[in-house]
Each structure stands twice: as C-alpha cells, then as structure tokens.
Amino acid sequence: MRTIKLGVKSNEVYYLNELLVKLGYSIVVSDSFGTATDKSVRDFQLKNNLVVDGVVGLKTWTVLLEKSKNSNTSNSKLLSEQNLIDFAKQFNLELAVVKAVNEVESNGKGFLVDGRPKILFEGHVFWKQLENRNIDPHIYVNTLNENILFEKYNRKYYVGGAEEYNRLEKAASLGADKKFRDAANCSASWGLFQIMGFNAVPIGYQSIDEFVIKMNENEGEHLKAFGMFLKKNNLIETLRSKNWAVFALKYNGPAYKTNKYDEKLQRAYLKYSK
C-alpha cells in the first residue's frame, strides 16, 4: 500500500475508508481522502500509539490491517493472472489489452472487506425497474424512501461500502412480492466491473438470482460477466483493433472525454505491451 493523506483520491483511499468503517468509524466510503477520513485516521493513530499526523504510511497501514485481519475477503476471491490469460485466449485478445482494460475500467477491488461483492445502488434505476414490472413507483414515494426511490439520477444518496447493501435491502423490502427484490438487485452495479444487474439476463444469465450468486463467488466471475457484457455489446472487436476512443465512448458514455478514458487505456496498453 502506498502512502496516502488528506487530498488524495485513489483505490487505496477507498480501501482505507472500508477498514475505518469496519473499525467503527462513521464515515462515507469513497475514494476521496477528505476531512472526515483525516479525522478518523488521526483518532486511530492516537489510540494505537502511532505518530498522529494523518498520514497513512507503512506503520499505520500495518496496524490497520492487523486490527482488521478478521476480514472475510480471501485471496481465493481475487482476480488472478491466469484469469486474465484465459480471458485473453477466450476472446482472442492481446494480454496487454486485457490488462489495460482491467486497470482502467475495473473498480480496483470487487469485494468489500466483509466478503460481499461491492455494489452501488441506483434509486432512479429502481424507479424504472418497478415500472418495468407494472408496479407504480409513485405509490411508494415518501420521505422515508427518498434515498432509494427517485425518478431522476441523483448522486447525493450514495453512501458507499457496506451501507449500499442497506439501501438495496430497504428497496427489496418495499413489498412482499419477489418482483421488488428482483427490481432492487437489477438496480445495483455489481463487482469489479460495475455491471448493472439489469444486464444479467440480456448478456446470458438465466436470471438476476443466478447473476447475484455468481457475483458473490469471486472476481473471476466478475471478469466473466464483463466479457459477456462486451460480447453482447459488440465491443470485443473494438478492443482487438485497439480503438480506444470508440471503446471508451461505448463503455463509459460521452463523459469518457472529460475523464480521458481513451488516453488512460492507451497508456496502460503501452505499459503492459512492453
């Protein structure tokens, strides 16, 4: 783990926030090292006889991981080199291309520290999923449900980490009919590559239930779902030709230009091709 501090935005910060929440700190799990994270780190350092400077370096990481060593996420759940090699062979892609896409388009880590797959619940998608099942979402709109059910996209209700499961469960419990749980599961992005649940059946899974079961297994299954998504959306040939701009547009949408996903993909490919 690299040294991180206030102002840093990275996957390491996301993991740090997960560990802090697991240790009882009340902060939002995100990839941003903000003032709440800084305050929590300093408190942790103070309580564990560390230098209180807010900097998470080797010593602080070591104590954090030691205190959190009962994590349920084992190495058997993590993506392996062989997973990437098999993926490259399956789709006739250069391994460097696969590694580049994995680096840029993956979510850094597919599982929470408690062993469950990482998710992000989308309340506006839940609205549409209910409508698709002939359930009128207007009936369930109230102040108690405002963080899980809304008609237009609104990122202010994201809480990150394990708390996203509380939002999903709240949505799934709006009604006794299984349609509510299916709609809720279809309204979250899952795992390492953030595949939306509503893609499950269109890309080849028998049901949303099968998809969720697979997402709970390991990051290799996350990669498999990613491959199914790419194949269904005709993106494999785009990767073979290394047309980064077209791939980034189709996978990330028009915002790819702002985030320079195409440039990131090209740089990552050049790094791995060496």
**DSSP sequence for 23-39:** TT-----SSB--HHHHH
Helix (H), strand (E) at residue 188: strand 188-190
Half-sphere exposure of 198 (CA within 13 A, CB side): 16
pLDDT of residue 107: 77
Could you tell me the CA-to-CA distances from 1 to 30, 56, 67, 111 in Å, in that order?
Answer: 17, 9, 16, 17
Asked whether residue 34 is domain-assigned, the answer is yes
Range of the domain at 17: 11-67
Q: Which amino acid is at 33?
A: F
Asked whether residue 23 is domain-assigned, the answer is yes
Contacts for 109 with CB less than 8 Å, ≥ 6 apart: 11, 14, 15, 118, 192
Token pair of 77 as six digits: 């759940």
Banded pLDDT at 75 (limits 50, 70, 90):
low
CATH number at residue 37: 1.10.101.10
Half-sphere exposure of 47 (CA within 13 A, CB side): 12
Asked whether residue 131 is domain-assigned, the answer is no
pLDDT of residue 70: 61
8 A C-beta contact, residue 109 and residue 118 = yes
Asked whether residue 24 is domain-assigned, the answer is yes
Asked whether residue 63 is domain-assigned, the answer is yes
- As a whole number of angstroms, the distance between CA 14 and CA 1 comes to 12
Report the mean per-residue pLDDT for the chain.
93
Over 70: is that where the pLDDT of 74 sits?
Answer: no
Contacts for 18 with CB less than 8 Å, ≥ 6 apart: 29, 112, 113, 161, 162
Asked whether residue 51 is domain-assigned, the answer is yes
Over 80: is that where the pLDDT of 72 sits?
Answer: no
Q: Which amino acid is at 241?
A: S
Asked whether residue 26 is domain-assigned, the answer is yes
pLDDT digits (tens, 9 = 90+) for 97-155: 999 999 999 877 889 888 899 999 999 999 999 999 999 999 999 999 999 999 999 99
Quote the distance between the C-alpha of residue 40 and its chain's center.
23
The alpha carbon dihedral of 89, 91, 96, 102 has a sign of negative
- As a whole number of angstroms, the distance between CA 124 and CA 117 comes to 21
Q: Which amino acid is at 265?
A: L
Asked whether residue 249 is domain-assigned, the answer is no
For the chain, what percent of residues have pLDDT higher than 90?
80
Number of domains in the chain: 1
